[in-house]
Copies of this chain bind each other. A is one copy, B any other.
């Protein structure tokens, strides 16, 4: 390769890495040689010498089914991917059933990537902490991480849930239940808290809280339980649109009207709302922007910027449709 262009390997390297100090003629010669030989620099060697991999990992400590089942993730990743497209980093998606196994951990710690974005983090999962000490790391969306050196992009879930619940209260609901997310996630806890806050402020007896596990099936299961045990419920705050899309058909199937008999407010404003027969009133969190921001932070920090805010809280807003 070096000889092919009639220059030294050093010059080839310079051209490949866009160094300004190369004679146009040499550069051209190298470029043609590259084209002719279909030369592609070896990543391992490059990485070994430069201590960079030009790759970023998106780790999702969730099993594949859950991950691919919730359109919420689609929005976040879309934001990440689009931001990364105009960088020279490639995105490597690592979906790990439950906590990342040792294999993946060694992959990350071994220098396979320059930075990590984590979404859908579970409380108590400390397996990623060691990685945070090795490279920049950004936690996103439904994540809260105590005492770790990482960046966080999130929304105020307590507030988001409050907005949703307040809507229910305002429209006259007196018996308000909640279908919660996976209790192993901080976001789910926070949303229950926000829901409870509003009810107490309104001097209303909190209705039942059933864990819907952030899945469509879970949402259906939860609403069935609520309908069976607490027939007087007239409003329900569902902690994710996906769960709402599972719960709604169950309600309608029983001949109950939405929002007439039971008002419903979701959370996320993810593409999952499209699967809802009656347009879902929900709390929008800017998922795509959050993804873009996470990627942006990582790229920025990786380029040497040290002055980024460690935590960014994005705004939530009620999207009024028909279900409440």
- Seen from chain A, the residues whose Cβ lies within 8 Å of a Cβ on chain B are 38, 40-48, 53, 55, 64-65, 67-69, 71, 73-74, 77-78, 81, 85, 88, 90-95, 97, 101, 103-104, 106-107, 109-112, 130, 216-217, 249, 271, 274-275, 277
Contact = CB atoms under 8 A, between A and B. Distances in A.
Contacts of A94: 90-93
A284 B120 CA distance: 31
16 contacts: A40-B109, A43-B107, A64-B77, A64-B78, A68-B73, A68-B77, A69-B74, A69-B271, A85-B101, A90-B104, A91-B94, A92-B92, A92-B94, A93-B94, A216-B274, A217-B274
Contacts of A45: 44, 48
Contacts of A277: 249
Stoichiometry, as copies per complex, reads 2
A112 B46 CA distance: 11
Contacts of A91: 94
Contact of A81 (B47, B95, B130, B274): B95
A53 B44 contact: yes
Given A38-B130, A81-B97, A90 B68 contact: no
Given A40-B110, A42-B48, 11 more contacts: A43-B44, A43-B47, A43-B112, A44-B111, A65-B78, A65-B271, A68-B73, A69-B74, A69-B271, A85-B97, A90-B107
